[in-house]
Amino acid sequence: MGTTWRVLYAARHAPPGEVQAAIETRLAELVAVLSHWEPDSALCRFNRTAGAWVTLPRDLARVVDAGLHLARVSGGAFDPAVGALVDLWGFGPRGPMPVPDEAAIEAARAVSGWQRLDWDGDGQCLRQPGGLQLDLSGIAKGYAADELADRLGRMGIAHCLIEVGGELVGRGIRPDGEPWWVDLETPPGPPLLPLRIALLQMGVATSGDYVRGAHSIDPRTGRAPDNGVVSVSVVAKTAMAADALATAIAIAWPDLSALEPLKPAARIVTRAGEVLTLPLQAMIDD
């Protein structure tokens, strides 16, 4: 997926070599299904399909289902079918591209959009309308972190902190009895008060342009959002939910009315300052 991973765990009988092998095996399975960097992944094969129903592997089906749900709830601020626009702007595996003109943007928008997808959740079948490009980079890393925690759980390892590409999930506690403490990322700029989160059966993810440069696309316009957002950090029950919500909020800000039913616990850093949503403020006050 073009990123790194890190795992901390506490267990009496879990040889590091066996744990690492299990992690690497599970990650290889996920890359083979979800990666848009690997031409032979299930996702890339779907993208090359010329208008047909495709039965998705379990992992891809679960991420697509979650992504389409958030696309509906967010009014398209999060969209798993934005790959053509991502590639057009040079933010995908193809690498840098010239700034596109109006005609190119509209052509990419014409073949993009979650509304063009037909999803049969019971049969785990997704219809490729032709030309549409899935891009799950705004949700797949969080899903991978959750899956690694689940894999360790099946090995009897209940206490771990998992990080995949900056998205984290914490299970259990540390050997000293403390929770897994995680400091929210602080982007460059005016100093912010540090914010430390206890990841007790929760995930946290951050979306921002301050590490890799501007690479966000508003699926609704086909262009970079002009809302002053520098970064968004979200705490949620899973890293996948946190990952996708951070992406959606970074695009939708300042109008989060569509996302209010989800009660996102988020810190939004903009060029004008910092905003904590009420659910995150309540967590801090508790």
Annotated binding-site positions: 138, 243, 247
Q: Which of 87, 76, 88 is nearest to 44 (CA)?
A: 87
pLDDT tens digits for 217-228?
999 999 999 999
pLDDT, the chain, mean: 93
Count CB neighbours of 76 within 10 A.
Answer: 22
- pLDDT reported for residue 93: 78
Task: Say whether pLDDT at 128 is over 80.
Answer: yes
Count CB neighbours of 251 within 10 A.
Answer: 25
- pLDDT reported for residue 211: 55
Residue scoring higher pLDDT (66 or 187): 66
Annotated binding-site positions for Mg(2+): 138, 243, 247
For every residue of 216-237, DSSP letters joined together read --BTTTTB---S-EEEEEEEES
One-letter amino acid at 95 equals: G
Task: Put the strands of the sheet holding 125-128 in their side by side order.
Answer: 52-55, 125-128, 118-120
Task: Say whether pLDDT at 212 is over 70.
Answer: no
Say how far apart CA 215 and CA 86 lie, in whole Å. Answer: 8
Could you tell me which residues are beta bridge partners of residue 247?
Answer: none
Q: Which domains are present in the chain?
A: 49-128 (1.10.3980.10), 170-285 (3.10.520.10)
Q: Which of 69-83, 88-102, 202-216 has the lowest mean pLDDT?
A: 202-216
pLDDT tens digits for 130-152?
999 999 999 999 999 999 999 99
**Continuous segment of H or E residues that includes residue 89:** none
Tokens of 103: 């005609």
Could you tell me which residues are beta bridge partners of residue 204?
Answer: 168, 235
Task: Tokens 């299970």: give the residue.
Answer: 171
Say how far apart CA 120 and CA 253 lie, in whole Å. Answer: 31
